[in-house]
Chain A
Amino acid sequence: EDQVTQSPEALRLQEGESSSLNCSYTVSGLRGLFWYRQDPGKGPEFLFTLYSAGEEKEKERLKATLTKKESFLHITAPKPEDSATYLCAATNTNAGKSTFGDGTTLTVKP
């Protein structure tokens, strides 16, 4: 059975304090790993797709990396507006169906 596990469940940072979120997956034949951001009461918003081990994607203060067993979302010098729940999802098909983790809720204090 495909599984995606995210850690930690919650992370509190001071503004400017860099850190990383972890997404471990057991998905046979991984075709893609997605990262999403979800604000309270809203739907998830797409951030990145990673296709193969060693790949990296960057957007502003966020950088996503992928190995054969896990993915990391690195947050450099975070700001309060980066506070949200970050979800990762893995797919092993071309049919669009993904397995989601439970998310990491990030709070950045000014």
Chain B
Amino acid sequence: DGGITQSPKYLFRKEGQNVTLSCEQNLNHDAMYWYRQDPGQGLRLIYYSQIVNDFQKGDIAEGYSVSREKKESFPLTVTSAQKNPTAFYLCASSSGTGVQPQHFGDGTRLSIL
């Protein structure tokens, strides 16, 4: 059954620590996205990638980094430069051609220790 898998479901970060959130898809989609969702708010775009080995900054990229070495995988690193990392992080993918909806994983909730 095709879909998007995010791991871990819960993650805790200590001060000064970088943490990496995993996102894997088996939908054969070209485009992948990372969003941040804060309580009672919509989705804000962090980074997106339309093709392997290429990615673009979204609206709130500061303090985050990504890589896209494989079509199936788009990991997000939350660096120590991100001073307010506590949020719900969502990964999505779409076929990338034409006007297509995005398919989402079930998120990773990141908290500060």
Judged by a CB distance under 8 angstroms, whether A42 is at the interface is: yes
Would A46 and B101 be within 8 Å (CB), given that A41-B107, A95-B31, A96-B96 are in contact? yes
User: Given A42-B106, A43-B105, A45-B104, are A91 and B42 also a contact pair (CB < 8 Å)?
Assistant: no
Is there an interface contact between B104 and A96, defined as CB atoms closer than 8 Å?
A: no
Q: Which of A4, A9, A46, A51 contacts B102 (CB 8 A)?
A: A46
Segment of B43-51, B61-69, B79-87 engaged in the interface with chain A: B43-51
Contact B41 A97 (CB under 8 A): no
Of the candidates B4, B6, B45, the one having the most CB atoms from chain A within 10 angstroms of its own CB is: B45
Q: Is A7 an interface residue (CB 8 A)?
A: no
Contact between A87 and B43 (Cβ–Cβ < 8 Å)?
A: yes
Tell me whether A32 and B99 are in contact (CB under 8 A). yes
B100 touches A103 (CB 8 A): no
What chain A residues lie within 8 Å of B100 (beta carbons)?
96
Proximity string of chain A (75-110) to chain B, C-beta cutoff 8 Å, 1 when within and 0 when not:
000000000000101010011111011110000000
The 7 closest A-B pairs by CB, nearest first: A43-B104, A32-B99, A102-B42, A100-B42, A96-B94, A46-B101, A100-B43
